[in-house]
Amino acid sequence: MEQEGILGFLFDLDNTLLAHYDEVIRPDVVEWLEIAAERGFKLAMVTNAIPERALPLAAGLNMPCVYRARKPLRRGVRAGIRVLDLPPEQVAMVGDQLFTDVWAGRRVGTYTIWVRPENPEEPITTAFKRPLEWIVTRLMELPFALGNLPNNGKLFLDRPLASITLTLQLREGDSAQ
């Protein structure tokens, strides 16, 4: 991520850092966040969740939190960027929803990382958007096949956040175990 100029990450909570109905963040995700922080990346949480859900989880990660962010509106992501004290182009917004997390990040000029949801069981307000996301991703494949990059170099990942650990470790020359 350093080669992209990214110095900070804003993370969605539900279905990005943990499964939607879980109360504990998996150890491999916590490890990924610790490695990123040790490498000097600034981290914050930007979530639409209520404070009673978001704040204890953020505190357990020692991570600042913007709750009730109202993504895809810009204000929550802008507040997260202010917390990181970085310009938007040095921040990556990481989330599982195209029409909230990715859209909000794009609207304020951050790099966006779209990860696969941690859990297929979701509230109806999220589940109804998944078929639309599938359609959009299929439409995006055509320009890629033609050699154009419609996402302006933004990253889309078809895997959960924890599986990015290997990539982060290998980029720094660590052993992949």
pLDDT tier for residue 13 given thresholds of 50, 70 and 90: very high
pLDDT in tens, 48-99: 999 999 999 999 999 999 999 999 999 999 999 999 999 999 999 998 888 7
For the chain, percent of residues with pLDDT exceeding 70: 64
Write the CATH number of the domain with boundaries 2-122+154-171. Answer: 3.40.50.1000
d(CA 34, CA 126): 29
Residue spans per domain, the chain: 2-122+154-171
Q: Is 25 helix (H, G, I), strand (E, B) or coil?
A: coil
Find, among 89, 86, 83, the residue nearest to 4 by Cα: 89
Burial class (CB in 10 A: 0-12, 13-18, 19+), 140: middle
Q: pTM to 2 decimals?
A: 0.73
Average pLDDT over residues 143-165: 43
Q: What is the pLDDT of residues 94-116, one digit of tens each?
A: 988 887 888 899 899 998 887 87
Q: Is the pLDDT score of 37 beyond 60? A: yes
pLDDT tens sequence across 118-136:
656 665 666 556 556 666 6
Q: Could you give the angle at the alpha carbon of 162 between the alpha carbons of 63 and 98, nearest 5°?
A: 80
E strand residue ranges, the chain: 8-11, 42-46, 65-66, 91-95, 111-114, 155-156
**109 touches 93 (CB < 8 A):** no
In 39-152, where does DSSP find H-type helix? 51-60, 74-84, 103-108, 124-127, 130-145
Residue 174's pLDDT band, with cuts at 50, 70 and 90, is: very low
